[in-house]
Amino acid sequence: MIPSAARVAALALSLTGLASGTLYQNAESLPKATNYDFIIVGGGAGGTVVANRLTENPRTKVLLIEAGSSDFNNLDIEVPSFAPRLGRTQFDWNFTTLGQPGLNGRSIEYQRGFVLGGSTAVNIMAYCRGSKDDYDRWAEVTGDEGWSWNSLQPYIRKIENPVAPADHHNTQGEIDLSVHGHGGPVNFSLPGQLLPTDQRVIGASLELSTEFPFNLDYNSGDTIGIGWTQTTTSNGHRVDAANSYLAPVLSRSNLDILVNTLVTKVVQTGTQRGGEPIFRGVEFASSSSGARFTRSASQEVILSAGAIKTPQILMLSGIGDSSHLSSLGVKTIVNVPDVGTNLQDHPLSTISWTVRSTNTLDNVRTNETLAAELLQQWNSSRTGDLVLGPGNQLGWLRLPNNASIFKQAADPSAGPTSAHYEFIPTDSFVSFSQPFPSQGNFFTMFSNLISPSSRGNITLNSTDPFAHPLIQPNMLSTEFDIFTMREAIKAARRFMSAQSWSDWIIEETSPTSAAQTDEEIEEYIRSTCFTVNHVTCTAPMGRTGSNGRGSGALNSDLTVKGTIGLRVVDASAFPFIPAAHTQVPTYILAERAADMIKSGF
Ligand SMILES: Cc1cc2nc3c(=O)[nH]c(=O)nc-3n(C[C@H](O)[C@H](O)[C@H](O)COP(=O)(O)OP(=O)(O)OC[C@H]3O[C@@H](n4cnc5c(N)ncnc54)[C@H](O)[C@@H]3O)c2cc1C
Ligand SMILES: *[C@@H]1O[C@H](CO)[C@@H](O)[C@H](O)[C@H]1NC(C)=O
Ligand SMILES: *[C@@H]1O[C@H](CO)[C@@H](O)[C@H](O)[C@H]1NC(C)=O
Ligand SMILES: *[C@@H]1O[C@H](CO)[C@@H](O)[C@H](O)[C@H]1NC(C)=O
Ligand SMILES: *[C@@H]1O[C@H](CO)[C@@H](O)[C@H](O)[C@H]1NC(C)=O
Ligand SMILES: *[C@@H]1O[C@H](CO)[C@@H](O)[C@H](O)[C@H]1NC(C)=O
Ligand SMILES: *[C@@H]1O[C@H](CO)[C@@H](O)[C@H](O)[C@H]1NC(C)=O
Ligand SMILES: *[C@@H]1O[C@H](CO)[C@@H](O)[C@H](O)[C@H]1NC(C)=O
């Protein structure tokens, strides 16, 4: 770890210098006299978009409250390839799941960002919108055509700004710029350093094009195939919700940001004539033993605390399943059975091979001299291996239509443009079960289940808002899910057997190589698989007006069912997880949400 004190100090100066009083470091310092139109809880992918868009109107006064710090310019956040260092640090909530029956009872670390920028400040930066079918399914289940792929196009394009890769290589044939917007706050780029494996991945796709077709741009609406990775990186550094949506608007005098402060619940501030409770208040504190403060918004409270904390806050506030709430002695104010249910995530597995080359990214890990040189290179020119995010290509793939599983299970994918599983080809060793070898050169294929049918949940363990809720992702709890993970491993072996790899790959390493029969592969997956950290769907939107279990926790405009003045704008609100990494779908949801809020204001 090399935190740069100078950089941190410079940031603190710029944050406080731009508009004095805008950034408050603790709850005590927030002026009592300020009246807010909106209070946003959580400064991650959802909350920053809403804070940015609502304060475009200078007459709208907004308070954004973030539990983590404002230290988003930390070197470990900025350097793209340092992303794997961020778990279990000051930037992590340090969640752990319950033992998962589908993973042989294992509990796993469940990372979430604890800093302005939220999980976008700690993620692995894959830039993926999801597919046309993913959004068309959202429109169908909510009865709201505004969530369809076509209707969302203005928001999808408004987010983004394609920029040159760090090495300024010619990107012809790697992206279809005609499907992208430009001039938006989120810069993204193609891989900033080319690798010897790149043309082998593309070559294998051309060679085995029936099963692994090349796709010029997986963000076109049709994701299927192998294509070049787009990442939230710009000029060799990470782009997150804090430096894209927040930093440029910190000088707005109508935006106040309070960090290091946990919202402990939302507070009922009145009752509407029809009897519906109004929730325009929030309670917050800077430490578990510290004073509790309350503030209310004249218009709305917007929960953007992410898919673990948003349902916890709702439940602590008396909004949730009444039988669950009463089991903890929480008085139910609104019975919304779907709060905390419907959790969806993407399980992740790996296979590695030894390779004939000595030139792989493993060297950055095994050779300290090289690592120091690369850091110096990054520091002086923002180039070199450290600008890289996940693999330089991604693959989005479907099971064949005649796969035997479809005789017993419905297809959980949204449709033909959504993948069942994803490949992330990687030029080094990665494993969730084995230590890094101290020497050697490797290739790894991550495969992850991108259209899962398993469902988990978030429940309360305690009424203490500073305690973690119980997190049960319940991964690989259906036949479809384990079948597809198994088929993904077999597909990875077929992909790597292409001629294109013959001069590179030596052999598959243990322990996967020992897994040959379906039973052995299944056991390998259940005993080693991890997560892509895409927890979502825990306060799902549904049809406006419909009530009861399975009808959603939110109306299709993201207001919480049975309440007035309270909305959820984050990845909790997805009804189904998109067949994609989930930051861009959160930005998309939040851009439309901000427009809905503004038009009703
Ligand atoms: C390790 C990792 C890797 C990932 N890789 C990728 C990837 O490569 N590509 C991709 O697209 N997605 C990736 N994701 C997922 C993506 O980052 C998330 O889906 C997205 O950030 C979700 O946005 P959100 O607004 O729902 O929550 P977040 O971005 O997590 O924001 C929630 C914010 O609320 C704050 N908060 C929570 N509770 C409170 C409270 N009570 N009071 C005040 N503030 C609170 C949190 O500190 C946080 O800042 C990854 C995530 C992780 C953790
Ligand atoms: C998570 O753990 C790290 C390492 O122990 C610690 O520094 C950090 O403060 C913890 N995060 C939170 C939110 O408590
Ligand atoms: C995005 O790119 C533009 C140039 O196109 C640059 O001015 C801006 O600082 C970049 N933003 C981030 C967050 O990197
Ligand atoms: C480690 O990296 C340095 C700098 O690139 C290089 O000179 C050296 O040969 C490398 N060491 C090994 C063992 O490969
Ligand atoms: C980056 O370069 C600056 C200026 O040359 C130097 O002060 C700083 O220590 C360097 N940081 C790292 C992490 O190398
Ligand atoms: C599916 O169809 C392909 C091509 O027609 C065939 O080779 C394969 O055996 C079939 N698989 C199953 C499970 O029926
Ligand atoms: C949460 O999920 C677990 C495991 O599937 C289940 O046993 C439990 O009943 C669920 N709890 C609630 C409140 O839905
Ligand atoms: C749930 O609460 C109990 C009692 O406080 C505690 O011992 C336990 O560790 C908690 N469980 C989890 C998963 O946090």
User: Tens of pLDDT along 86-125?
Assistant: 999 999 999 999 999 999 999 999 999 999 999 999 999 9
Position 22 scores a pLDDT of 87
pLDDT of 12 strictly over 50 = no
Is 404 a pocket residue for ligand 6 (Cβ < 6 Å)? yes
Position 181 scores a pLDDT of 98
Task: Tell me what the mean pLDDT of segment 348-373 comes to.
Answer: 97
pLDDT of 9 strictly over 60 = no
Domain boundaries, given as residue ranges, for the chain? 1-79+111-164+238-319+537-601, 80-110+184-237+344-531
Pick the closest to residue 445 from 200, 222, 219, 191 (CA basis): 200
Pairing type for strands 255-258 and 23-24 reads parallel
Share of the chain above pLDDT 70, in %: 96
Determine the Cα–Cα distance for residues 74 and 390; give it in Å rounded to an integer: 20
Confidence category of residue 342, pLDDT binned at 50, 70, 90: very high
Burial class (CB in 10 A: 0-12, 13-18, 19+), 369: exposed
Beta-strand ranges (E) seen in 229-360 are 233-234, 237-238, 255-258, 262-267, 270-271, 277-278, 281-285, 293-303, 319-320, 334-335, 347-355
Determine the Cα–Cα distance for residues 601 and 599; give it in Å rounded to an integer: 6
Task: Tell me what the mean pLDDT of segment 152-179 comes to.
Answer: 98
Is 234 a pocket residue for ligand 3 (Cβ < 6 Å)? yes
Ligand whose nearest atom lies closest to the CA of 531: 1
State the distance from the centre of ligand 4 to the C-alpha of 77, rounded, in angstroms.
26
Pick the closest to residue 555 from 148, 141, 266, 265 (CA basis): 141
Average pLDDT, the chain: 95
Quick one: residue 250, left, alpha or beta (phi over 0 = left, psi -120 to 50 = alpha)?
alpha
284 and 26 Cβ atoms separated by less than 8 Å? no
Determine if residue 115 is labeled as part of a ligand binding site: yes
Among 78, 127, 161, say which to mutate for ligand 3: greatest number of ligand atoms within 8 Å of CB: 161
Is 34 a pocket residue for ligand 2 (Cβ < 6 Å)? no
Position 418 scores a pLDDT of 99
Residues, the chain: 601
Tally helices (H) and strands (E) across the chain: 14, 27
Q: Which atom of ligand 2 is nearest to the CA of 114?
A: 13
Position 13 scores a pLDDT of 42
Confidence category of residue 231, pLDDT binned at 50, 70, 90: very high
DSSP labels, 547-581: -STTS-SB-TTSBBTT-BSEEE-SGGG-SS--SS-
Residues 80-110+184-237+344-531: name the CATH superfamily. Answer: Glucose Oxidase, domain 3 (3.30.560.10)
Position 21 scores a pLDDT of 40
Q: Which of 12-16, 148-152, 206-210, 294-298 has the lowest mean pLDDT?
A: 12-16
pLDDT in tens, 572-596: 999 999 999 999 999 999 999 999 9
Q: Which atom of ligand 6 is nearest to the CA of 403?
A: 13
Task: Tell me what the mean pLDDT of segment 160-187 comes to.
Answer: 98
At 421 the three-state DSSP class reads strand
8 and 71 Cβ atoms separated by less than 8 Å? yes
Determine the Cα–Cα distance for residues 3 and 387; give it in Å rounded to an integer: 17
Determine the Cα–Cα distance for residues 41 and 555; give it in Å rounded to an integer: 19
pLDDT of 15 strictly over 90 = no
Is 477 a pocket residue for ligand 7 (Cβ < 6 Å)? no
Task: Tell me what the mean pLDDT of segment 202-209 comes to.
Answer: 98
Kindly compute the dihedral angle of the four CA atoms of residues 230, 231, 235, 239, in this order, to the nearest 10 degrees.
150
pLDDT of 2 strictly over 90 = no
Class of domain 1-79+111-164+238-319+537-601: alpha beta
Q: Confirm whether 468 is a catalytic residue.
A: no
504 and 200 Cβ atoms separated by less than 8 Å? yes
Q: Is the dihedral of CA 122, 128, 133, 137 positive or negative?
A: positive
Q: Is the pTM for the entire model greater than 0.95? A: yes
Q: Which residues line ligand 4 (CB under 6 A)?
A: 367, 369-370, 373
Beta bridge partners of 350: 446
pLDDT of 431 strictly over 50 = yes
Position 1 scores a pLDDT of 32
